[in-house]
Structure 1
Amino acid sequence: MKHIKSKRADFQAEVNGKQTDLYILKNKNGLEMAVTNFGARVVELWIPDKDGNFADVVLGHNNIDEYVNYEGERFLGATIGRFGNRIATGQFELDGVTYQLPLNNGPNSLHGGFNGFDMVVWDATQISDNEIEFRYISKDGEEGYPGTLSVDMTYQLTDDNEFVVTHRAVTDKSTIINLTHHSFFNLHGEGNGSINDHILMLNADKYTPVDSVLIPNGELGEVENTPMDFRIPTEIGSRLGVEFQQLKYGGGYDHNWVLNRKSDKDIELAATVYEPASGRFMEVLTTEPGIQFYGGNFFDGSIVGKCGKTYDYRGSLALETQHYPDSPNQPEFPSTVLNPAENYYHVCIYKFGVK
């Protein structure tokens, strides 16, 4: 049975002199995913519930124009780069040189600037029915970042019901890099109510507390005895009303958790999400040291999604595997510097099942 609703013609356009298109991935179990090379975005992702009924579980638009000329949330389904998350005052120092990035999030630079990797047209090659390769060359000085960065990324929909994102990159000059994937999920199906009833587990004893503009203060906070403790699977909305300064700063959950890792580079479990009504279950695995959990705090019903329903307050969640926010300015955090002759490698897996 074909699930994809998007029409290829609605995604074929010329953007900044390059052609955009729509590509379909599928596995033997009936999972289907639609992606566009504008921002390497996931447009649709269809997975079954416990009764075998499929739903599209990611937020998105049904034509390219709404992604290019976005209103409201910009990052739906996108690849984020050159640096995911926030950099304080848009500045960092590398090899004695201070670099200034665009300020697109109050006093900070967020997700690569005004024209980050989510707003560029990637070169796409469909390798097979279940795999696609994206390539992009970010030139020296683009959005203020040093070095020409060559990125090679694959999306794969495996027969184990995994959506595997593999990022690779090299640079010709020392730079900083923190790529991540930014699908917004709702396991009820996109546009079908709140995610506050989803049951979340985060494999983390610590998180990075932030200030009022969501920049880490450099400390590693203990989750124990706070609303940030998701080590035992917990309903997302159950503690949102607790008096806790970090929730006030974020308008809810919009923080980086420090993953409990056994290795530096192996693929390990970071998070799980369970939606009891449908039985849909998602695991997140990664090579990265952190994960940003965002609870959809800034959606306000102004976006009408693919299904014709509004995207409402806390109607989706993002789980972005990553290095920590503002790492270039936090020497105690794991480094995000990439030097020539080094290889950047980051795997994120979203694995779907039922319980």
Structure 2
Amino acid sequence: MSIATPDRRITGAIEGRPVEAFRLCGGGTELEVIGFGAILTRLTRPDRHGVVEDIVLGYDDPADYETMPGNAGALCGRLANRLAHGRFELDGQVFQLARNSGAHHLHGGVRGFGKRFWSAHPDPSANAVEFRLASPDGDEGYPGALDASVTYGVAADGAVSIAMQARADRNTIVNLVHHGYWNLAGHASGSVLEQQLQIEADHYTPVRPDKIPTGEILSVEGGPFDFRRFKAIGADIAEASIDGGYDHNFCLRGRARGLRRCVSAWDPGSGRRMDIHSNQPGLQLYTANHLGLAPARGKGGAVYEKYAGFALETQAYPNAPNCPDFPSVMLREGETYRHEMLIVFPEAGG
């Protein structure tokens, strides 16, 4: 498949405002992203027999991305993942954010970045589209005006790049995250428990029952969090004990500066494989546990139930502002936050 100029169309409306969709193609990959939430709504890849399937969970009606839980495919921020009691201290001042997940702050607040319209800027020369969002000082309680962007691109070999950036006019905290749900057998194929992961992490951050990290960094050795070799997602999932599945941060090996491979996912049935490279220190594995409480009707009428997909979110560690041993998420005035992801799809095999 040759590199194509991004197609642009209107795919629906949210609160009376049209939602733009952009299609990018290259190297056997075809994806669609929309301006609302900078959401990746569709990504297709062939299996070992050349059969093409959409391997990301999502919805046909863009309005469902606003109302359905789970942040499927969205760009979450200003601080993705959890912040204990929505509170942190910065430069001697205590800031109180929304408590939109029980007693805690989650994915940027009541209306985080994944629930807003971003401005779209297609770049045909790079086979990419950039989305931009301006977040004012005090937005959801965060200090500083922040200019954020995310650029999706597809290379000639089918690899997908997701590049996130942000700058602020005063010191603030930032952790932007792409929150896609993957099912390498196809979005409508059911449980992912037989699909396998290999995570480049020797340690993880344990959590309390409310999913807030304890502040410890523990070894994965021999337990349910040991994915150092390929292992089925469901092999030890009963021992993970968070809503019956995984919702945990892994401490990635290597310096969090340049791109390095963080995780590989493989579906034995279809032969599809996906490798994610990133420059971030952590990776959240989440097995869509919320769908066990409220199954969702997705694309093409597919019913998404518990374990219908898995999220692999490269990130900073959750609750980092309140855990002094975790890598900092502070963005200083005038500096540029950069979060890079490269998703590579090796040829499907046995």
State TM-score, norm by structure 1: 0.92
2: distance between equivalents of 1:195 and 1:224?
Answer: 23
Give the structure 1 partner of residue 138 of structure 2.
141
- Which structure 1 residue ranges, 5 or more long, are not aligned? 2-6
Deviations along 1:157-213, whole A, 9 cap, x unmatched?
112221111011110010000001011000110121111001100100000000111
- The amino acid of 2:21's aligned partner reads L
**Which of 61, 79, 91 pairs up with 1:95?**
91
Percent identity, aligned pairs only, is: 39
Say which SS state the counterpart of residue 304 (structure 2) adopts. coil
**Which of 34, 40, 43 pairs up with 2:38?**
40
CA contact (8 A) 1:11 1:36 kept: no
Q: Does the alignment pair 1:297 with 2:296?
A: no
Give the C-alpha shift of residue 12 in structure 1.
Answer: 4.4
- The amino acid of 1:63's aligned partner reads D
Moved >3 Å (runs of 4+): 7-10, 12-15
Of stretches 77-86 and 152-161 in structure 1, the one that deviates more from structure 2 is 152-161
Deviations along 1:21-58, whole A, 9 cap, x unmatched?
1111111x232111110000011101111111110000
Give the structure 2 partner of residue 4 of structure 1.
none
Give the structure 1 partner of residue 148 of structure 2.
151
**Which of 52, 57, 74 pairs up with 2:50?**
52
**CA-atom RMSD, angstroms?**
1.7
**Which of 157, 160, 163 pairs up with 1:163?**
160
Give the C-alpha shift of residue 126 in structure 1.
Answer: 1.2
Give the C-alpha shift of residue 9 in structure 1.
Answer: 4.0
1: distance between equivalents of 2:18 and 2:333?
Answer: 31
Give the structure 1 partner of residue 276 of structure 2.
284
Question: After the TM superposition, which residues 332-343 of structure 1 pair with which residues of structure 2 at under 5 Å, given as runs?
Answer: 332-343=325-336
Give the C-alpha shift of residue 291 in structure 1.
Answer: 0.2
Give the structure 2 partner of residue 255 of structure 1.
248
1: distance between equivalents of 2:288 and 2:150?
Answer: 26
Give the structure 1 partner of residue 106 of structure 2.
110
Say which SS state the counterpart of residue 345 (structure 2) adopts. strand
Say which SS state the counterpart of residue 37 (structure 2) adopts. coil
State TM-score, norm by structure 2: 0.94
Deviations along 1:216-258, whole A, 9 cap, x unmatched?
11110110021110001101111123xx4xx223531110000
Say which SS state the counterpart of residue 11 (structure 1) adopts. strand
**Which of 285, 300, 317 pairs up with 2:310?**
317
The structure in which a higher percent of residues are strand is 2
Q: Does the alignment pair 1:11 with 2:12?
A: yes
Question: After the TM superposition, which residues 203-282 of structure 1 pair with which residues of structure 2 at under 5 Å, given as runs?
Answer: 203-241=200-238, 244=239, 247-261=240-254, 263-282=255-274
- The amino acid of 1:278's aligned partner reads S
Say which SS state the counterpart of residue 234 (structure 2) adopts. helix
2: distance between equivalents of 1:251 and 1:307?
Answer: 27
2: distance between equivalents of 1:84 and 1:152?
Answer: 15
Say which SS state the counterpart of residue 85 (structure 2) adopts. helix
Say which SS state the counterpart of residue 289 (structure 2) adopts. coil
Question: Are residues 314 and 74 of structure 1, via their aligned partners in 2, closer, same or farther at CA, if it must alter by over 3 Å?
Answer: closer
CA contact (8 A) 1:199 1:234 kept: yes
Question: Are residues 203 and 273 of structure 1, via their aligned partners in 2, closer, same or farther at CA, if it must alter by over 3 Å?
Answer: same
CA contact (8 A) 1:86 1:109 kept: yes
CA contact (8 A) 1:214 1:250 kept: no
CA contact (8 A) 1:11 1:22 kept: no
Question: Size of the alignment, in residue pairs?
Answer: 341
- The amino acid of 1:331's aligned partner reads P
Deviations along 1:248-281, whole A, 9 cap, x unmatched?
23531110000011x3311001000000110000
Question: Are residues 93 and 269 of structure 1, via their aligned partners in 2, closer, same or farther at CA, if it must alter by over 3 Å?
Answer: same
Question: Are residues 219 and 250 of structure 1, via their aligned partners in 2, closer, same or farther at CA, if it must alter by over 3 Å?
Answer: farther
2: distance between equivalents of 1:280 and 1:110?
Answer: 32
CA contact (8 A) 2:159 2:342 kept: yes
Q: Does the alignment pair 1:66 with 2:67?
A: no
2: distance between equivalents of 1:313 and 1:37?
Answer: 28
2: distance between equivalents of 1:13 and 1:332?
Answer: 42
- Which structure 2 residue ranges, 5 or more long, are not aligned? 2-7
Question: Are residues 13 and 88 of structure 1, via their aligned partners in 2, closer, same or farther at CA, if it must alter by over 3 Å?
Answer: closer
- The amino acid of 1:51's aligned partner reads H
Give the C-alpha shift of residue 19 in structure 1.
Answer: 4.5
2: distance between equivalents of 1:119 and 1:298?
Answer: 18
Give the structure 1 partner of residue 73 of structure 2.
77
CA contact (8 A) 1:14 1:20 kept: no
Give the C-alpha shift of residue 285 in structure 1.
Answer: 0.6
Deviations along 1:289-330, whole A, 9 cap, x unmatched?
000000121113631111211001111000000000000001
